[in-house]
Structure 1
Amino acid sequence: MTLTDLQQLSASQNELVLTYMHAMKALELLESAGASLLGWEGWLRYPDRRLGHSPLHQGVDTSKLAPSEAYRLARDTICISQKEYESTPAMADVQLLFCITVSGL
C-alpha cells in the first residue's frame, strides 16, 4: 500500500482522514518519506455518511516535537483513542476516523 492508495481511501478529499488500520499504515509511510508530522485529530463518520469532529478524541499537536517523538506520540495516542472508542457501546453506529496532518510532502 502506498500513500497514494491511502489518499484515495481518505474520507476527505482535502485531508488525510482514515480508519485506524489505515492511519497506522499512513504514519509508517509518512515517517519513511520524511514528512513532518504536525498532528492528528479524531473525526466521526455517522451512519448517513456525514463527517464531524470528535469531541472525545481531540488528537495531539506534534508540530514542536522531534520527528521520531512526534510519530511515536501519534501512534500511541491514536491507539489509545481507538481502544477507548471500541469500549464505548454508544458509538456502535459511528465510525472513528483519524485526520493526519503533515508538511514536507
Structure 2
Amino acid sequence: MTLADLQRLSVSQSELVLPYPLAITALQLLEATGAILMGWEGCLRYPDGRLGHSDMHQGTTNTSALSSSEAYSWAKVSMRLSQKEYELQNETTDIKLLFCIILNA
C-alpha cells in the first residue's frame, strides 16, 4: 500500500483521515519517507456520513519538541490506546473513530 492509496481511502480530501489499521500503516509509510509528524486528532464518522471532532479522543498535542522517531512512536502508542478505549466504550454504536494525521506542511 502506498501513501497515494491511503489518501484515496481517506474520508477527507484535504486531510489524511483513516480508521485505526490504515492510520498505523500511514504512520509507518510517512515515517519511512521522513515526513514531519505534528500529531493526530480523533474524528468521528456518524452513520449519515458526517464527520466531527471527538471530545474524548483529542489526540496528541504538538510533537515538534520530540525527535521524529519519538513523535511517531508516541502517535502509534496513543492511537492504540484511544482505539482500545473507544472499542471498550462504544461496542454498540454506529459511530466510527477515525484518526486525522497532522503533518508539518
Does the TM-score normalized on the shorter chain lie above 0.5? yes
Normalization by structure 1: what TM-score?
A: 0.95
Which runs of structure 2 are paired with 1:73-88 in the superposition (5 Å)?
73-88=74-89
Alignment partners' CA distance in 2, 1:91 and 1:28: 30
The answer as to 2:102 corresponding to 1:101 is yes
Alpha-carbon distance between aligned partners in 2 of 1:62 and 1:9, rounded to the nearest angstrom: 25
Q: Secondary structure at the match of 1:87?
A: helix
Instruction: Report deviation, 1:63.
Output: 2.2
Tell me which residue corresponds to 1:33. 33
- Render the CA deviation track for 1:37-85: whole Å, top value 9, x for unaligned: 0000000000000000000000002122110000000000000000000
In percent, how many aligned pairs have the same letter? 59
State the number of aligned residues.
104
**Structure 1 unmatched ranges of 5 or more:** none
2:62 matches 1:42:
no
Distance, in Å, in 1 between the alignment partners of 2:27 and 2:92 is 25
Task: Show structure 2 runs of 5+ residues with no match.
Answer: none
Structure 1 contact 85–91 (Cα < 8 Å) conserved: no
CA distance in 2, matches of 1:91, 1:44: 15
> What's the Cα RMSD here?
1.2
What is the TM-score with the length of structure 2 in the denominator? 0.95
